[in-house]
Each structure stands twice: as C-alpha cells, then as structure tokens.
Structure 1
Amino acid sequence: MSFIERSVAALLQSSRPSKACVLLGPRQAGKTTLLSMLSGRGSAAWYSGDDCASAAALLGLQASSDIRTLLLSADTVIIDEAQRIPGIGLLIKRLADADAWLEKPVRLFAAASSSLELSAGVRESALGRIEEICVWPLSTAELAGSSSWGTTLQNLGTRIVYGTYPEVCTHPEDAKKILINHCGAMLYKDLFDLSGIRFSIKFENLVRLLARSIGSVVTYEGLGRETGLAKATVMDYIRLLEECFIIKVCPSFSKNLGNEMKKGKKIYFCDTGIRNAVIRDFSPLSSRADAGALWENFFFMERVKYHSLQQDFSEIYFWKTTGHKPQTVDFIELTDQKMRAFDCRLSPKARAKSSEAFIKTYPDCPLEVVSPNDLMRLWQPKLPFN
C-alpha cells in the first residue's frame, strides 16, 4: 500500500478560483501531498513557511504590482505551513482581492497544521475570501478504496490501536516509531513554538490525563484539580490542543430534560494512534482494558471525517443525565435539526445502554447500536439524515 487516494481531493478540485482555499488539519495528515498533486497540473508558485527564503519572498510582496506579478506568473499559488508566516491573514486577503480582478483568476491554496495563527489572521483579515477544508488522517472508507472493505474490516483492530495517519498505514512495520516521534514533534515542539506554553510539565500531565480519559465525561475544574492547573489555564491548553488538531471536544446535548448534563465534556484524540503514543501503550485491542473507549474514540472521528467531507455542518454531542442512576447515549448527531443517536459497542450482539429517558424524551430520534462491523454501512451516502 504505497498511495491512498484521498476523498478530499474532489473538494479541492471543485473549490472556487475566486476564493483562497485553506487546508487545515494535523501535521503529516497529507496536506502537502495533496498540494503537490495540484501543483503538478499546470504552472505553480510554491512557498513554504518552513523555508526562510520562501517565506521572505512572500513577506517581500509589498506593492500591489508585486502581488499582481506573482498572480500572473502561475496558474496556482500554494503556501504550505502557512501558520509560520507572520501576517498570513492579511497576505491572503491581498492575494484574494487582487485575484478577483484578474480576467482569469488563479487558484490560491494555503495549508496549515495549526489554526493558532490563522484564527487571528486569516479568519479575521480574509473574512469572506477563504474556503476552509479539513484534511484529517485517513478514513476507513479511503483505506477500503485502496484495498477492499473486507480487508479493512479484518485489520480494523490494528487501525484502532495504531490510528490512520498515512505514513503509519503505508509503513506498518515502523508504526510505533513513527507515532512516538510524531507525537513528540507535534505535541510539544510545534505547539510550544506556536503558543509559548510555560508550564510544560503540567501541560504534558494534562495531555496524558486526557489520553486516559477518552470516553469519560470531564470538566475543566476536575482536570485542573488533577493537574494543579487553574481552570482558565486548562481551558486555554485544551483550546490550543484542539486548534492544533490533536484533540477534539465533544460537548453535552441538553434540550428538554431538567436533569440533562449541561457542563460536562468528552474529549477525544483526532487519531487513536497518537493517543496510544501519549500513554506508550500499543497492546492489541483484544487484550486492552480500554478497548471500548478506543472504539468510541475511533468511531467519533470516523463520523467527524464523514461530515467534514459531506460539508453538511453537522454537530456531534454526547448525552447523559445527572443523578444517582444516570442514563447515557454515546453520540447524538444534529444535521439541519434532525437527530440521530449512536451507542458504541465492540460486539455486534450487544444491546444499547439503558436509555429509556432519552427514547421517551426524543421519540423521533433513531438510536443505533454500532460495532466495528457497521463502519462500511455508516460510510454509505444514502442513509437517513446523512
């Protein structure tokens, strides 16, 4: 397995030339490879925030005539590792503005492995001039497309343990080393450089605590007590981790019942392999005490990837009641006010958790028990509410 076709490529090819297309997603998820494919279909001007000379050339574009000259020199302008270029938001705004006046607009692409700089740069300075597309690690549908669903489901236990980063999937013999090295670079070097985190030991303790808490409801106050960090600092660190595409927060859903949990959150890792690298545990799924939580994390991210590709702006929540005997539903998807609920189980014969209160309160919401065998069905495009 040397090359795996990415579903997101179709979104990139259909992006409007009148807007700058910004690729966001974890480091090493495949953004640069996708941009390389785009650059090979005509003349392309390529810049990278990792290259000092390249970044300096971009920063040297001061006059409007300089911008226009650049745009007229190529069919496509690509800026990789854009988060490392100071003032990238204003630069993209100027490129997009000038491009709109060209008789034949060029295609503008930027890629970033962190939205830390972009959130205060591109999204404010280039408002209305960008189209954001997320590039996640590989989905099971993409893996199946490169082999078969039978093979993918047969190897799913390995994928849940080692995750789906492209390099991990194409070089499985080096998976553990790749993940541990990647975890160190992504979690600490990149994030520390971008954010200026001061309490590095407590930050690392927080990351490990989050890794051991997947599938569990947490609060910022509780995380603060266990790590010795102030609540506000915990909130800042979790925001940074999410903006660097290391974790993804799943909020609680509450609408009708007075005892529906409102403040708790579940926090999952964007890749289960990275999660296992954090705790240094790559034991087989069959022998793990946390196998159920890993499957829940894996399923959550598969649905995140699915909705990201569909661009349907769905939101995903968990549901839980408070009190002595709480009832739970693992996930609720809300798409155009239509609800769909899932309970994750490793065995296809397992039944849903006790959720009578949910069924009574939301009788029109279908509740499905999902096991690893259901992944192929859940990636099909014609399911209700998909």
Structure 2
Amino acid sequence: MNGKISRILADDISQNFFKGKVIVVYGPRQSGKTTLAREIFRQMSVEPVLLNGDDDLDVHYFDTVTANRWTQLMGARKVVFVDEGQKIQNLGRAVKLLVDSRDDVQVVVTGSSSFSLANSIEEPLTGRKFEYKLFPLCFSELEKYFGFLEESKKLELRLVFGSYPEVVVNEADMKQTLKLLAESYLYRDIMQYEGIRKPAVLEKLLRALALQVGSEVSFNELSGLLGVSRTLVESYLKILEQAFIVFPLSSYSSNLRNEIKKGVKFYFWDNGIRNAVLNDFTPIPQRNDVGALWENYVISERMKKNAYKRADGLPYFWRTTDQMEVDYLEVLGSKIKAFEFKWNSRKRSRVTKAFTNRYPDAEVETITPENYAEWLS
C-alpha cells in the first residue's frame, strides 16, 4: 500500500487548534490515535513536546509539575502531545495548570480507556476541552483510499478480519497481525485494568458475547454461565465498553403492549476482534455465522459514521415478547427509521408488519451487500 489513509477526524481536530481548549482523543489501542496526531502536527508544521503514559519518567513528571517546570519543558514550542494519557494519574490538574497560565499553547491528549482518562481530566477541564472518539478504520475512510469498487471487493475480508489500521495495511498477513493485536490489546492491556480480579472470567465473558452477537443478552444468564455475580458481570461489561471492545444496543419501546422494554444486545466495535476472541478466521463461504457477522459489521460501521457526524438520532433494536423483531432503529424525536440486515439479498425480506402496524410513519429499509455502501458513506 502506498500513501496514508486519511482519517475523517483530522480536519475537525486541526480546525480546533489554538482555541483555548485541550483536545482529547479517545479510542481503542492501535486504532491510529498517535498516527493521526502526528499527521496533524506534520500538516500544521508544529513540533510538539512529546509525553507518553507508557514512559515511567514522563508519568513521574506529572507528580511534581509546576507552571515554571512547564515553561522549562516547552521552551519555544507551543504544542504538547500526551499519548496514553489514561495512565497518568494527575494529568488533568497538570494540564489545567498549563492552559491556565498560557493562552498560546495547544495540548493534545490521547487515551485508550474512556473511563480512566475521563476520570483524570473531567473535573479539572470542565468546559475546557474538545472531545473526539477515534475508532478502527471506517468504511468511508477505506472507500476513499481504495476506491468504491476495490473496497467493495474486500467486504468479506472486513467481515472476518475487521478494519484495524495495522490489519488493513498488512493484507498478506491479516490473521497473524490480528492475533498479535488481540493478544496484546485484550489479554495484556485490558487484563491490567484496575478491578479485573478474575481475568479468566473476563475471557469467558468475551467468548459468550462473541457467540451471542445479534442476540439479546441476559445478565442473569451470563452470571449463571460464568459462575459469578450479576454485579461482577455488569462491572466487566462496563470495562469492555470503556476500552472500546464492545458497545450496547438497547431495546426501543413506546410502552405499547408486549414490547421488550429493558432488553440489550452487545456488538463488537470490530469484527476482527470478535473473530479473534473465538480464534475463528474461516472464510465467509464456509461459515455458519455470516448473518451475525454481517449484522455486527453494518451496525458498528453505522455507529462509527454517526459518531463522526455527531448525528442526533439514538440507536436501538426492537422486539416483542412473541419474538417479532427489527434489527436496528434510529430514533430522533417522533421520527423513526427501521432497518433489517440481510446478507443474502436474493431472499425476500422486509421489516415485520408487527412493527409497521404500530409505527406506520416509520421509514423502513433492508440493508444488503448491494446497497450497504450508500448507507455507510
């Protein structure tokens, strides 16, 4: 591959430089946060002060930082880049000290745990930051780089191996690259989170979620399956959310009879991570879980798109107690859009009449490999 894959957030972030606010970029490990920041610095011809939460000396610096020490550290430079900021305990206080004393400085912070980083900076930087989330590569970024036709041909690869940058650029060795990424990301980084007292339970929980993609999840059933309390299950699920491994999709109800009101499904932000959890990289034609992979892919890609566009619609699924279901909804006020996902476009499919009879004004559409590109662009 030649050249760099442009990221959607690059222009938005660079336009908010030197506006008196800290720029915070959350996202999973290896999603390209550092690369994105360095590319923005290069395009803007700025040389930042580099500090890294993986470097013990840099972390220790934040224990004793003062306004004078910031001045000594920065010299004539105007940009500070703090990578892996979630590992720095006093980050928020230290950054506030800098931005309060210097109105000509831009601070950029990245982190791979939304909980740890947000806790560190939330109170000191209230109203003083622009926040962004960077995910693995999205369809429109890949389409722009490869072209529509070429990226469409890679759809089956995306369903199996996902869209992490390192995986995409190592197409000849996707399986090994993804396995190494998953091992370092899942079984080293996440297991080190505070509160992970039972890593084997977290591993089993991930497998259970991977096998239940597209299905409603019961916390009580997971509790019984794993042999731990429901409270611990919910705690570990929250950690997986904060680490950008999975995200929840809640059920929609307007309190009509027999609608599921408190249901939840979990999807993976990246298909490749889901398959790595199961150690299953079987090609699409030989799989029996293609429907689940397709559903996970299009929903996660739509969630990325809506996050980048800051779309206002809220995502849900819909189900009744007698198992009538719609895969995905977007709800904005009284306006509802309903979507069904079908891998085989030759099979007749439509949103269930149980839904359209209740919500006759809803827009309905079936998403297949023939029309998904427009829905995700």
Aligned 1:11-26 pairs, distance under 5 A: 11-16=12-17, 17-26=19-28
Distance of 2:255 and 2:99 partners within structure 1: 45
Instruction: Compute the displacement of 1:96 (Å).
Output: 3.3
Looking at structure 2, the residues matched to 135 and 163 of structure 1 have their Cα atoms a distance apart, in angstroms, of 15
Q: Which residue of 1 aligns with 2:217?
A: 218
Q: TM-score, normalised by structure 1?
A: 0.92
> CA, structure 1 residues 92+360, in 2 after alignment: closer, same or farther (shift >3 Å)?
farther
Structure 2: distance between partners of 1:91 and 1:349: 59
Quick one: which amino acid aligns to residue 125 of structure 1? P
Q: 1:196 Cα deviation (Å)?
A: 3.6
Matches within 5 A, 1:56-75: 56-61=60-65, 63-67=66-70, 73-75=76-78
Which residue does the alignment assign to 2:167? Answer: 168
Report the equivalent of 2:305.
306
State whether residues 219 and 263 of structure 1, in contact with CA within 8 Å, keep that contact through their aligned partners in structure 2: no
Range with greater deviation from structure 2 (187-196 or 165-174): 187-196
Return the alpha-carbon distance in structure 1 between the equivalents of residues 221 and 24 of structure 2: 36
Shift of 1:64: 2.9
Using the TM superposition, give the Cα deviation of residue 68 of structure 1 relative to its aligned residue in structure 2, in angstroms.
5.0
Q: CA–CA distance in 2 between the matches of 1:269 and 1:299?
A: 11
- SS at 1:195 equivalent: coil
1:217 alignment partner, SS class? coil
Q: How far apart are 1:154 and its partner, in Å?
A: 1.1
- 1:290-347 Cα offsets, whole Å, 9 max, x none, are 1000010000111111111111243211111113xx2111011124553211100002
Within the candidate set 82, 85, 96, 1:79 is matched to 82
Taking the TM superposition and a 5 Å limit, the aligned residue runs for 1:1-386 are 1-2=1-2, 3-16=4-17, 17-40=19-42, 41-61=45-65, 63-67=66-70, 73-99=76-102, 102=103, 105-323=104-322, 326-335=323-332, 338-352=335-349, 355-380=352-377
State the secondary structure of the residue aligned to 1:332: strand
Number of residue equivalences: 373
With structure 2 as the length reference, what TM-score do the two structures score? 0.94
Identical aligned pairs, as a percentage? 34
Gaps of 5+ in 1: 381-386
Whole-Å Cα distance in 2 between the matches of residues 107 and 284 of structure 1? 46
User: Distance between the aligned counterparts of 2:49 and 2:333, measured in 1?
Assistant: 40
How far residue 197 of structure 1 moved from its aligned partner, in angstroms, is: 0.9
| Alignment check: 8 A CA contact 1:116 1:194 kept | no
Unaligned runs of 5+ in 2: none
Q: Which residue identity lines up with residue 26 of structure 2 in the other structure?
A: L
1: CA distance between counterparts of 2:28 and 2:129? 19
Report the aligned-residue RMSD: 1.8
Give SS of 1:253's match.
coil
- For 1:20 and 1:71, how far apart are their aligned partners in 2? 16
For residues 311 and 23 of structure 2, the distance between their equivalents in structure 1, rounded to whole angstroms, comes to 18
2:350–2:365 contact (8 Å) kept in structure 1: no
CA deviation string 1:120-164 (max 9, x = no partner): 222233221122111111111111111211111111011111000
Equivalent residue letter for 1:283: T
Aligned to 1:383: none
Q: What amino acid does structure 2 have at the position aligned with 1:366?
A: E
